Amino acid sequence: TGRTPEHFIKWVKHFLDTWGTDETKEELGGLGLQDTSTPPDMKSLHFFQMDEFFPIDPEQKNSFSSYVKKLYAENFGLDQGKVRVMDLWDLGCREGRNNGELFEAGIDVTITEREPSTHLEREQADALNAVNQFCCEYEEEIRSLGGIGFFLGGIGPDGHVAFNCKGSDHHSTTRLTKLNYQSAAAAASDLGGIETARKKHVVTIGLGTIKYNP
């Protein structure tokens, strides 16, 4: 999200909608694309969301999943079967529950490393284990396709790329991690205030994911 992606989306949508017109051929030629005889096959592309707050309802307008589906998948005419979003709202939860309820008071990741002491902690541990498994499978899917061919993202207030905040391992992979204060503060207005933002974790692809080039 942010001005850079929105500028990119605007112009890609413009070129897709006007492909084949003399004006667009001239514009694309000026950008170095000389062969405009065949429009790009957008349905051949695989799209991976790079990060998401956890937990967050994917239908909430401030979720990145919602942003991806509306502004990228719909505008670009992508094949929905090749668009991977980070929908973690009810992942690992029993029927009728969601992670917003389970982690309303915050997230203690240590419950996956010890014996849960309450029924709620057992539910939380099951959910976090499911999220961790999701991250492993997400990473493997990206790598099985040869890695990321084109990456578009802004730079956060602390210099983060995706949600790889200051101090992230250069070989990090897709994972559940905690927001630092600067990033939480920047997201506070979208999440209902700093106290709510500070309770969130995020799922993000890693720096190693971005750099992977077999």
Percent of the chain's residues with pLDDT above 90: 77
Phi, psi (degrees; rounded to nearest 5) at 177: -145, 170
Residue 34 pLDDT class (50, 70, 90 cuts): confident
Q: Indicate whether 154 pLDDT > 90.
A: no
Q: What are phi and psi of 149, to 5 degrees?
A: -85, -30
> What's at 3, amino acid-wise?
R
The whole-chain average pLDDT of the chain stands at 93
Residue 69 has pLDDT above 80, yes or no: yes
- What number is the average pLDDT over the span 75-100? 96
Using pLDDT thresholds of 50, 70 and 90, give the confidence band for residue 2. Answer: low
Q: For residue 192, give the amino acid letter.
A: G
CB neighbours of 88 closer than 8 A, spacing ≥ 6? 52, 54, 55, 99, 131, 134, 203
Query: First-to-last CA distance in the chain?
Result: 28
| pLDDT band per the 50, 70, 90 thresholds, residue 198 | confident
* DSSP one-letter string for 119-140: HHHHHHHHHHHHHHHHHHHHHH
